[in-house]
Amino acid sequence: MNAPTSPMHLLPQIHPRDVPRAMIDALKARFAERCSTALVVREQHGRDESSFDAPPPSAVVFAENTAEVAEVVSLAAQYKVPVIPFGVGSSLEGHLLAVQGGISIDLGRMNQVLAIHADDLTVTVQPGVTRKQLNEEIKSTGLFFPIDPGADATIGGMSATRASGTNAVRYGTMRENVLALEVVTASGEIIRTGTRAKKSSAGYDLTRLMVGSEGTLGVITEITLKLYPLPEAVSAAICSFPSIEAAVRTTIQVIQLGIPIARVELIDVNTVRMVNTYAKLGLREEPLLLMEFHGSPGGVKEQAELVQEIASEHGGNAFEWASTPEERTRLWTARHNSYFAAVQSRPGCKVISTDTCVPISRLADCLLDSVAEADASGIPYFLVGHVGDGNFHFGYLLDPTQPEERVTAEKLNHQLVARALSLGGTCTGEHGIGLHKMDFLVTETGAGAVEMMRTIKRALDPHNIMNPGKIFAI
Amino acid sequence: MNAPTSPMHLLPQIHPRDVPRAMIDALKARFAERCSTALVVREQHGRDESSFDAPPPSAVVFAENTAEVAEVVSLAAQYKVPVIPFGVGSSLEGHLLAVQGGISIDLGRMNQVLAIHADDLTVTVQPGVTRKQLNEEIKSTGLFFPIDPGADATIGGMSATRASGTNAVRYGTMRENVLALEVVTASGEIIRTGTRAKKSSAGYDLTRLMVGSEGTLGVITEITLKLYPLPEAVSAAICSFPSIEAAVRTTIQVIQLGIPIARVELIDVNTVRMVNTYAKLGLREEPLLLMEFHGSPGGVKEQAELVQEIASEHGGNAFEWASTPEERTRLWTARHNSYFAAVQSRPGCKVISTDTCVPISRLADCLLDSVAEADASGIPYFLVGHVGDGNFHFGYLLDPTQPEERVTAEKLNHQLVARALSLGGTCTGEHGIGLHKMDFLVTETGAGAVEMMRTIKRALDPHNIMNPGKIFAI
């Protein structure tokens, strides 16, 4: 394996195209101060939570409605200039980097909840609405939107990356929870996919083609989502285990028995220590599972008892229960702060995050060997997982002044992905392909399937202006 | 409205292409007696449960494995001849009719359950496996496959039409339950989509693009499905209501409260009478809901009590409970026999089945006005519905010697679809577009979205050989 010596070497897809002065002038004339070419604004829109760097976009347009997005895309189509939709910048895979230059469309001002249909358990939002904002705005309906990727990402961004996170084990991912979309296509046309009906057999499933397309097929400008009644009862618990294996075996059994657990998150002992330091939580320094149960009071009690029994068989102990919202928030602090706690544990570090997901019975096989490899490498890391779905993340904490650490981390990631694929899994459970997993995509799904994806991309975006260089290094 | 005087007039897409003698000879040479040109075989493969007629395909090939399917498609690509995948022929929308001529590929002999991964709650099957066969073969694992469209359809056909049926209210449709596919593309290449991982963000969602594509993008040759643990407790009930409205209002409230009911099927009084005549069930001749509850014993009891309470508020009475498999089978006989009972109630009739699906809060609005219209028309009909999903079917029972009845039925269907669309719904919840709903598709999703679908179709099937004339009248 030849060692890449800098992050730039990992980005063969960097070859910015020219953005004609005439286009910038046209955008400035149309959008005035809502089209910015200030370096600080462009730089802010040219990066995300990934560890990659690329030159920033040539301009940022702050769109306020779908028609404006369509105008920008039409202009981009005319000048054959890339457009990159931007939400809050929480992508982990370089989705927002202007690797082929172009214009960033900031959708943050399109942040209206457009229609709450509480009686139908649906809501329609603009793409810049964040998940926390959404839950705040629908609070009085007694409903909630369960998908929680950790970051307070926008619904547009979550749709574009087919996000999931905690809660997906019970409520599914964006794949299952987006009912309908409005999309600006590569020609600047506005189309609608899907309806508010819960199911449909009306032609090709364009909704799910767009969900997870990472901005490469169109700009998502409106999203209709499923909502769920707030559970009558919620109970959360932390349980410590003598080993990761014990925690994982407990999870596997819970899933195989069909217990409708709402969240089951693994936090390894490294991460527990980091979180204890960061947030002074005083958690027992052992691998732990964070669990949540939703249902009727009787149902929650039943689930909790079953899980406790299973956990005990695997040596799980020290169950700490939380039934009030305040207590639950405290427990979830451990999970929600894990990323920042880890980053702070090694000041100045860059994070490479893995994202494999395997069939539940193979979770222990996949995870334990990878932990052994990571431990042997000497690279500091954190490890958290949506283990109920077979999905987990190593975050390798890299010193950017030590390029050999990146080489080691990439090697660990390659080994992990190869292992996950050999076990029937995927290289990415929820972060997307972006810039970093293109080769893995080919290995995972085969050249034929990737060629089918590219054929669709070429047909729907003949000038390759929609977030080019992501998913495929065209 | 001009009256079509025969069903043929409803099929402008009929224009059979030539199948060159050389291709038939090549198929005969390769497949011997497994390539049939006998009229009776061709006719059997050139029709389905729809009310349409078209000339039969030129030949039927009985494929035994994926490589053989790929061979047939490659030959078809060479000669630019249509290919139509065939399962058991239970389509209701003319999917199997050779409206542009061509070759039928019978997948019925590809009926092996290939891999049961009970520990992962997944199974991989060939496309000719039927849903009943599947459940029989996995019985010993304690798992089941819930999707039940009524007919004992093949898993391949169910995938191709994005089928659902009873149970979808709790377990989702084929959209949610297909994890991965093997597909023979229009060029005869074999590709794989998806993995056995429960979730993935790896590129475009080709799995869901293929699910519901009605054979127009490729031939599905292998399907990996989610399975579910057989519920610890199952309880079923019939409840009669003073009116359809009362039954529907009960359903709406059950769904809005988030009660995880597994099945909630409406049967109108016409249909109850037909079923009583057909199967001597002695059911109370009132609209009824057939319900099923899955869960732990405590959970089932809790759900059932809640639903009984809601039903009582709406005048529901005469709950008849069934907890043993035999009693449940008796209750479900009413639902499963409704189609045949209806057909027998008017000997020699042809059925036009509607398939609208609306957001749950609009179900009463959509259904009640349509019942009034159907009653006023004088056309005999039956009415059943997966009402928990907002999906219901009128079956208009038409005397084929009275063409004006078809005109009336088409008019009723148009009114119903227009109403469903105006209420935020879809023209087809589960049967697909096929030959009969192309215009509705454009009205529902807009010309722009349909053009996007056609662009994908043209890109993936440039010679338009994959089940042409379905979804789009190309």
pLDDT tens readout for residues A191-246: 999 999 999 999 999 999 999 999 999 999 999 999 999 999 999 999 999 999 99
Task: Say if the Cβ atoms of A455 and B458 lie within 8 Å.
Answer: no
Please report, as a single letter, which amino acid is at residue A418.
Answer: A
Copy the structure tokens of residue A379: 């690279």
Tokens of A74: 């039409």
pLDDT tens for A337-354 read 899 999 999 999 999 999
Contact across the interface for B185 and A302, Cβ inside 8 Å: no
Inspect the interface and report whether the beta carbons of B446 and A191 lie closer than 8 Å. yes
Sorting pLDDT into bands at 50, 70 and 90, what band is B316?
very high
User: Which residues in chain A are contacts of B426 at CB distance < 8 A?
Assistant: 195, 197, 199-202
Q: Report the Cα A61 to chain-centroid distance in Å.
A: 24
Amino acid occupying residue A399: D
**What residues of B are in contact with residue A430 (Cβ under 8 Å)?**
199, 201
CA A369 to chain centroid, in Å, comes to 25
Query: CA–CA separation, A231 vs A208, rounded Å?
Result: 27
Amino acid sitting at position A211? V
Distance CA A386, CA A148 (A): 11
Q: What is the pLDDT of residue A10?
A: 58
Say whether B129 sits in a helix, a strand or coil: coil
Q: What is the pLDDT of residues B164-215, one digit of tens each?
A: 999 999 999 999 999 999 999 999 999 999 999 999 999 999 999 999 999 9
Greater pLDDT, A88 or A11: A88
Residue A409: its pLDDT value, please?
96
Classify each residue of B130-163 as buried b or exposed e, where b means 16 or more C-beta atoms within 10 Å of its C-beta: bbebbbebbeebebbbbbbbbbebbbbbbbbbbb
pLDDT beyond 80 at B232: yes
The answer, yes or no, to whether residue A164 has pLDDT greater than 70, is: yes
Q: What is the mean pLDDT of chain A?
A: 94
Residue pair A105/A63 in contact (Cβ under 8 Å)? The answer is: yes
Q: Do the Cβ atoms of B338 and B268 come closer than 8 Å?
A: no
Instruction: Quickly count: other Cβ atoms within 10 Å of residue A340's Cβ.
Output: 13
The CATH classification of domain A233-422, taken from the options 3.40.50.150, 3.10.20.30, 3.40.462.10, 2.130.10.30: 3.40.462.10
**What are the backbone angles phi and psi of residue A111, rounded to the nearest 5°?**
-125, 40
Q: What is the mean pLDDT of residues A52-69?
A: 96
Q: What's the pLDDT at A12?
A: 67
- Across the interface, whether the CB atoms of A212 and B205 are under 8 A apart is answered yes
Provide the H-helix boundaries in B15-122.
21-31, 39-45, 66-79
Q: Which residue has the tokens 């069939």?
A: A359
User: Tokens in use for B358?
Assistant: 């609306």
**CB-based contact B445 A120, cutoff 8 Å:** no
- What SS3 state is found at A326? helix
What tokens appear for B431 in the block? 């049967």
Given a cut of 90, is residue B13 above it in pLDDT? no
ipTM confidence score: 0.96
Which of A84-98, A162-176, B43-57, B121-135 shows the lowest mean pLDDT across its residues? B43-57
CB-nearest to B204 from A119, A213, A421 is A213
Return the residue matching tokens 């399975």.
Answer: B227
Distance of residue A219 Cα from the nearest chain B Cα, in angstroms: 14
Q: Are B116 and B93 in contact (CB under 8 A)?
A: no
pLDDT of residue A462: 98
Distance between CA B369 and CA B392 in Å, rounded? 13
Q: What is the pLDDT of residue B45?
A: 97
String of DSSP letters for B372-394:
HHHHHHT--EEEEEEGGGTEEEE
Can you list the alpha helix ranges (DSSP code H) found in B280-337? 297-313, 325-336
What is the predicted pLDDT for the residue at B9?
44
Q: Is the pLDDT of residue B222 over 70?
A: yes
- A4: pLDDT strictly greater than 60: no
CATH assignment of B7-106?
Answer: 3.30.43.10
Q: Do A122 and B172 touch (CB under 8 A)?
A: no
At residue A148 the predicted structure's pLDDT band, cuts being 50, 70 and 90, is very high
Residue B322, pLDDT > 90, answer: no
Q: Which among A162, A175, A200 is the top mutation candidate for probing chain B, defined by the most B β-carbons within 10 Å of its own β-carbon? A: A200
Asked if residue B181 lies in contact with residue B193, where contact means CB atoms within 8 angstroms, the answer is yes
The pLDDT of B253-279, averaged and rounded, is 95
Architecture of domain A113-229: 2-Layer Sandwich (3.30)
- In this complex, which of B195, B362, B424 lies closest to A444 when CB atoms are compared? B195
What is the rounded CA–CA span in Å between residue A470 and residue B26?
Answer: 44
Asked if B398 and B410 touch (Cβ cutoff 8 Å), the reply is no
Whether A429 and B199 lie within 8 Å, measured CB to CB: yes
The pLDDT value given to residue B403: 92
A13 has pLDDT over 80 = no
To the nearest whole Å, the CA of B99 is away from the closest chain A CA by 18
Contact A162 B205 (CB under 8 A): yes
Q: How does residue A282 score in pLDDT terms, banded at 50, 70 and 90?
A: confident
Question: What are the residue boundaries of the structural domains of chain A, listed by start?
Answer: 113-229, 233-422
For residue A463, pLDDT over 50 is answered with yes
* Cβ-based burial of A20 (10 A; exposed 0-12, middle 13-18, buried ≥19): middle
Same fold for the domain at A113-229 and the one at A233-422?
no
| pLDDT the model gives residue A51 | 82
- CA separation for the pair B457, B467 (Å, rounded): 11
A37, A49, B108, B368 from A13: Cα distances, Å: 23, 19, 46, 58
Under the banding of pLDDT at 50, 70 and 90, the label for residue A326 is confident
**pLDDT of B438-448, one tens digit each?**
999 999 999 99
Mean local confidence (pLDDT), A96-105: 97
- Evaluate if residue A178 carries a pLDDT over 50: yes
- Reported pTM: 0.96
